[in-house]
Amino acid sequence: MVKGYLREVSQVSNMSNRPLVARALQLSERIELKGLERADQFSSNPLGFKVAGGGTVVLFRFGAAVFFDMNPLEEEAIVDGLQGRLIEPLAERETETVQIILRPDGEDQTLPSGSIELKNAAPERLMLVAEALALSVALAYDERRIAQAFDRVEPIAFSLKRRSLLARSQAALMEQIGEALLIQQRLAGRVDMADRPDVLWDHPALERLWAKLADEYDLGPRARAIRQKLEVIRESADTMGDLLATRTSHRLEWYIIALIALEILLGLANRFVK
């Protein structure tokens, strides 16, 4: 089955004993890829292409960029060229770096040292490595955000334990719900770990390589842990929202009682005056 994920590339990168360095960066909440299409691209979504110096770049809509065999100056030149397309750039970028050893007589695998061994640097193999690294930095970003979200929930939970709600609980609650929704939206925009990356539709022989990469970076368990934590946050937010609504309802009831009492008093006063 062909999904148009990769365009067939006739020439494979020149292999040598020198390891390739792959580096992933979470640059922003999102990268606007529309309009960046190139005639020499080997993938459209994510956008993958070669650069003049021989390196390779893969850009993901969910804000990650992966660079192969490029020095920091070349990487920053690409990032600078993306200015205006980075939606909500991050002040603190998540990074992931790995060495790739090219061994034609070897096999596609992850090594105990943390390096990755590939038979060659064909685009489809680099795409799978890029997918794994990009998901890893994106999950790291979400893990950091969700930890901050839990920190904001804690004082509200303590206030409930003391049977009192903080004066700013409602504002904090709304912020919490918004944070949970944003992270859920990001997760929905990435590859579901129950599915295969689209590149595998054209290259099913690389299934084992993807399984090893997913296991190396704990992609499935990390994504599931984030979803579980999001559920906890949403349930906590719903509980606190119900309590705040109840408190507001009680206040309205007292206001109504006070107005009725005031009306009765005014009526009695009018009778006495007459």
The first and second tokens of residue 205, run together, are 């022989």
Q: What is the CATH number of domain 20-119?
A: 3.30.310
Q: How many other CB atoms are found less than 10 A from the CB of residue 126?
A: 25
Please give the share of the chain, as a percent, with pLDDT higher than 70: 68
The residue type found at 188 is: A
Q: How far apart are CA 38 and CA 19, in angstroms?
A: 27
Q: Checking DSSP bridges between strand 86-102 and strand 116-118, what pairing results, if any?
A: parallel
Q: Are the beta carbons of 12 and 122 closer than 8 angstroms? A: yes
Q: What is the pLDDT along the chain (274 residues), one digit of tens a residue?
A: 334 444 433 333 444 467 899 999 999 999 999 999 998 899 998 999 999 888 999 999 999 999 999 999 999 999 999 999 999 999 999 999 999 999 999 999 999 999 999 999 999 999 999 999 999 999 999 888 888 777 766 666 666 666 555 555 566 666 666 666 676 666 655 545 546 788 999 999 999 999 999 999 999 899 888 888 877 777 766 666 666 666 566 566 677 777 777 777 776 677 776 6
Summarize pLDDT for 68-102 with one digit per residue, the tens.
Answer: 999 999 999 999 999 999 999 999 999 999 999 99
Q: How far apart are CA 18 and CA 52, in angstroms?
A: 19
Q: How far apart are CA 112 and CA 109, in angstroms?
A: 10
Burial zone of 140 (CB within 10 Å; 0-12 exposed, 13-18 middle, 19+ buried): middle
Q: Are the beta carbons of 108 and 124 closer than 8 angstroms? A: no
For residue 3, the SS3 value is: coil
Specify the DSSP class assigned to residue 13.
P
Candidates 53, 27, 48, 46; CA nearest to 38 is: 48
Q: How far apart are CA 42 and CA 6, in angstroms?
A: 6
Q: How much is the pLDDT for 21?
A: 96
Q: How much is the pLDDT for 165?
A: 56
